[in-house]
Amino acid sequence: MRWTVSFFLQSAVTNGLSWEPVNARIKSLLAMDAATAKAELDRLTPAKIVSPDDAALVKAGVYLHHGYLAECHRIAQRVESANGAYWHALLHRVEGDFENAKHWYRRVGAHPVLARFGSDWDPCWFVDQCAAGGSAETDQLQQTEFDLLLAHTIAVATGPAP
């Protein structure tokens, strides 16, 4: 079977792959203009951190969302974990450095966010779809992936709910 972005997008809808914001402060950071969000993020310190590396990756994700690619890259490249590799892959895909994005996706390995897309999901295939030219469906699937990775990273950074 030949997979399409539409197939995976429909699978995402069918499987309920949506992001319920787990933190109102993060949701507000994503809604701010880039300069305000960066200033707020530079001074933000969450109340409970169980993984400092993943807390830094949450910051990297918000930087990426607002187009602060150098700041995102600086954080993602220093975190040597599956989450760090995943954020690094997303960054390079956003930059249009598609081969480097695929390199970092291969370093991610098995990941809970990738698993949510199903056993047939191949992130390197999706990078190729993005490289071939965006569509509304491709953009929507990229946003879903970003949202799921951000929610996952927040959960790892802050630990299980009390």
Task: Judge whether residue 65 has pLDDT over 80.
Answer: yes
Nearest residue to 123 (alpha-carbon basis) of 149, 145, 97, 96: 145
Distance CA 138, CA 60 (A): 22
What is d(CA 101, CA 83) in angstroms, rounded to the nearest whole number? Answer: 14
Higher pLDDT, 158 or 115: 115
Q: Break the chain into its structural domains and give their ranges.
A: 53-162
Cβ–Cβ < 8 Å for 5, 129: yes
Task: For 68-87, write each residue's pLDDT tens digit.
Answer: 999 999 999 999 999 999 99
More confident residue, 162 or 124: 124
Q: List, for residues 112-134, the tens digit of each pLDDT value.
A: 999 888 888 899 999 999 999 87
The pTM (predicted TM-score) of the whole model is 0.79
53-162 maps to which CATH number? 1.25.40
